[in-house]
Amino acid sequence: MYLPQEIIKLKRNGGKLPEAAIQQFVTGLTDNSFSEGQTAALAMAIYLNGMATEETVALTRAMRDSGAVLNWQGKLNGPVVDKHSTGGVGDKVSLMLAPMIAACGGYVPMIAGRGLGHTGGTVDKLETIPGYSCTQPLATIQREVARLGCVIVGQSGELAPADRRLYLIRDVTATVESIPLITASILSKKLAAGLDVLTMDVKIGSGAIMKNIDDASALAQSIVNTAKGAGVPTQALLTDMNECLGSTAGNVLEVLETLDYLTGKYREPRLHQVTLELGASMLQLAGLFADKASAVAALEHSLTSGKAAEIFAKMVAAMGGPADLLEKPQLYLGKAPVVQDIVAPHAGYLAASDTTAVGMAVVRLGGGRAHPAQVIDPVVGFSDVQALGSKVAAGDVLARVHAASVEAAAKASAEYLAALSFSDNAVSLQPIVHKVID
């Protein structure tokens, strides 16, 4: 039996935590025998000194086993598959991809998270839909996944409860970027969902947790190795987050973009490509399609046929939301009191974006959290975001800010402009997919 301070001291001094110490820490997360201060201290020690692979595996398994683990054996007619993103600005891919995969024969029990640091959270987005409950009994999750093919929910008290507490503390203690903690957080939830295969979307760039190819590769390899050790085949795609993904950043705005995407009203090209790349990986890993071309064709058909949109609508209704959200989104999704254009100060090409700064501007508007208990303003953020490489004239609209007041809009507009760099000449853009790790 270890005292909490002994565990903290061992890791602070660069030591390797025994499995029993890791198990005690995870138990302390669930029964509160580790205080918030002690949890923050150990998280910082892990951030500074890292963990060996076996420590990360032990932490992942302990957090998985801190609650229930779903068993799908004999209950479904296809593979159980999921994807997870390390987070970025404007990343709403999970919302469209879950029903698309379901339309293609996969089953997706997606356990999603809330916003973390400057990145948005899938749960926060879904909770802007009136009535949609991300907290569901396991029996409901299992029933609706079998019926619809997908469900997107948050971490309930039953699934990986230890991670839920640690996740919130990491958000406000500058320990988000720790590779072992990210790995264990992601995989504890995914392993608790009883997956057959997993595709990881590891973001890289100015709006990602991992800013460069080396750090992103290290995280992706950590996740692939840890998942493999737990018996879940996993592929990681390193995708670009050097600019906002899609044309919106902010919870309601991203839900509206999702609806436009699923119904075919508008599909921003980079967002569409990322969605297809990740979806094809999922379908191939699951053995549903033998090659990328056929997987992409199936995903495209799920959209053009309307089947993915239909599944999304049914999922929203099953989780307590309105049955006619796709037909009448403006009836249910709020609107910011102030909407203002952000205009180009001069002519040129959009050359680069400090996308983390854009995400933090959304947080300061009220669209994210500065502390775990903070209530989010769902309607604030940015829309009509122009992509990097765009040629603009002075006075052209670069984006629109949605804010609670004129003062907040002015401040966010200044922050948005400060995050952009312009060039007199056309610029070369980063690839959508930087690297694939099997």
- Residue 151 three-state SS: strand
Distance CA 327, CA 323 (A): 9
Instruction: Tell me how far CA of residue 132 lies from CA of 129, 325, 395, in angstroms.
Output: 6, 11, 40
Q: Catalytic one among 183, 185, 247, 353?
A: 185
- Whether 190 is catalytic: yes
Cβ contact 301:100 at 8 Å: no
- Whether 301 is catalytic: no
Q: Catalytic one among 66, 119, 122, 248?
A: 122
Residue with the two structure tokens 């024969």 = 105
**Of 427, 429, 358, 436, nearest in space to 399 by CA:** 358
Distance CA 244, CA 150 (A): 26
**Of 307, 320, 61, nearest in space to 187 by CA:** 61
Q: Catalytic one among 189, 203, 314, 369?
A: 189
- Whether 185 is catalytic: yes
- Whether 83 is catalytic: yes
Q: Catalytic one among 170, 272, 369, 400?
A: 170
Q: Which two tokens stand for residue 215?
A: 């750090």
- Whether 371 is catalytic: no
Q: For residue 388, which phi and psi values (nearest 5 degrees)?
A: -60, 145
Q: Which two tokens stand for residue 128?
A: 């802007």
- Whether 82 is catalytic: yes
Q: Catalytic one among 11, 84, 165, 369?
A: 84
Q: Catalytic one among 64, 118, 125, 190?
A: 190
Return the C-alpha torsion angle 136, 140, 142, 147, nearest 10.
-130
Q: Catalytic one among 82, 124, 201, 240?
A: 82
Q: Catalytic one among 11, 61, 64, 83?
A: 83
Q: For residue 15, which phi and psi values (nearest 5 degrees)?
A: -80, 170
Q: Catalytic one among 39, 56, 66, 85?
A: 85
**Of 195, 188, 283, nearest in space to 226 by CA:** 188
The amino acid that residue 243 corresponds to is E
Distance CA 254, CA 316 (A): 15
- Whether 84 is catalytic: yes
- Whether 85 is catalytic: yes
In terms of residues, how long is the chain? 438
Instruction: Tell me how far CA of residue 334 lies from CA of 127, 176, 415, in angstroms.
Output: 12, 30, 24
- Residue 302 three-state SS: helix
- Whether 211 is catalytic: no
| 27, HSE (Cβ side, Cα atoms, 13 Å) | 10
Distance CA 213, CA 380 (A): 32
**Would you name the residues annotated as active-site residues?**
82-85, 122, 170, 185, 189-190
